[in-house]
Structure 1
Amino acid sequence: MLNNCQIIELPKINDPRGNLTFIETDKHVPFNIQRVFYLYDVPGGASRAGHALKTCQQFLIAMSGSFDVVLDDGYQQKKFHLNRSYYGLYICPMIWREIDNFSSGSVCMVLASAFYNENDYYREYQEFLTSVRSEQQ
């Protein structure tokens, strides 16, 4: 499943007055966008996320600054460094994610395929691992 998570380059329209990037449902992200939220003013040394989603898909973009995203499918991990507003990271369901190494002034925008639902979250890593490994058997 980790191989399904990937960096996707978004359209970038260069203009001397300022560049423009846009995102369209089912064209640039492989899902219908239901929710948008963003992380900002993250204190130095802090990390965010620390969860997996059962069914929700997400797309993360470094709107400003940079940060690292570590993805874990229960068997292997992969680290992505996001630092351009025209690249996004697609995260499929059942992937544990940790976000850290936020630069000063960074903003992480997240597009989600579903409205917030606490029941869709694994917040304990061991519970996530148990679920992933039971599905593989």
Structure 2
Amino acid sequence: MAYIINIPTFSDERGNLTVLDEAIPFQIKRLFYIYGVDNSARGGHRHHQTTQAAICIQGSCTIINHDGKTLEHIELDEPKKCLILETKDWHIMTNFSPDAILLVLANTNFDANDYIFDPYPETA
């Protein structure tokens, strides 16, 4: 199941410094960011092998996550909040604020065959 970690952030009168070095629970092989999103939803998949860390470094967005048993709506609204998405987590990213920048780190390189687009069946 997806879970939130808090990334160490150091703040003083000069601003904030958030450090990812030891916070991410996997070796980072790929990173990308999503921004300038209209009212569209992004994602709509899970993975065979990829674990991801999602951080809304500016603005906010919602991740709708389903792990095969539980459906959750997770708000990412501060840059020290990081959502870890495991392979079983079928997710949709939505409700992007106009200024949102969503940074995603992954433990694998891109592979089109790693994606599973079929959602889980609805659960009671």
Q: TM-score under structure 2 normalisation?
A: 0.92
- Give the letter aligned to residue 19 of structure 1: N
The gaps in structure 1 that reach 5 residues or longer are 131-137
Query: 1:81, 1:49 → 2: CA distance?
Result: 15
Q: Deviations over 1:72-95 (max 9, x none)?
A: 012221111000001100111121
Per the alignment, residue 88 of structure 2 pairs with 94
> In proportion to residue count, which structure has more strand?
2
- 1:105 Cα offset (Å): 1.0
Q: TM-score under structure 1 normalisation?
A: 0.84
Query: 1:59, 1:37 → 2: CA distance?
Result: 11
User: Is the 1:47–1:100 Cα contact (8 Å) retained in structure 2?
Assistant: yes
Per the alignment, residue 133 of structure 1 pairs with none
Per the alignment, residue 52 of structure 1 pairs with 46
Superposed counterparts of 1:70-85, under 5 Å: 70-85=64-79
Provide the alpha-carbon RMSD of the alignment: 1.2
Runs of 4+ residues deviating >2 angstroms = none
- Is structure 2 residue 5 aligned with structure 1 residue 11? no
- Give the letter aligned to residue 34 of structure 2: L
Per the alignment, residue 134 of structure 1 pairs with none
Per the alignment, residue 135 of structure 1 pairs with none
- Give the letter aligned to residue 19 of structure 2: F
Identity %, equivalent residues: 31
- Is structure 2 residue 27 aligned with structure 1 residue 32? yes
- Is structure 2 residue 17 aligned with structure 1 residue 20? yes
- Structure 1 or 2, whichever has the larger Rg, is 1
Q: 1:112 aligns with which of 106, 109, 114?
A: 106
The gaps in structure 2 that reach 5 residues or longer are none
- Give the letter aligned to residue 68 of structure 2: G
User: Is the 1:55–1:94 Cα contact (8 Å) retained in structure 2?
Assistant: no
- Give the letter aligned to residue 22 of structure 1: V
Task: Say how many residue pairs are matched.
Answer: 121
Query: 2:23, 2:47 → 1: CA distance?
Result: 21
Aligned-partner SS, 1:50: strand
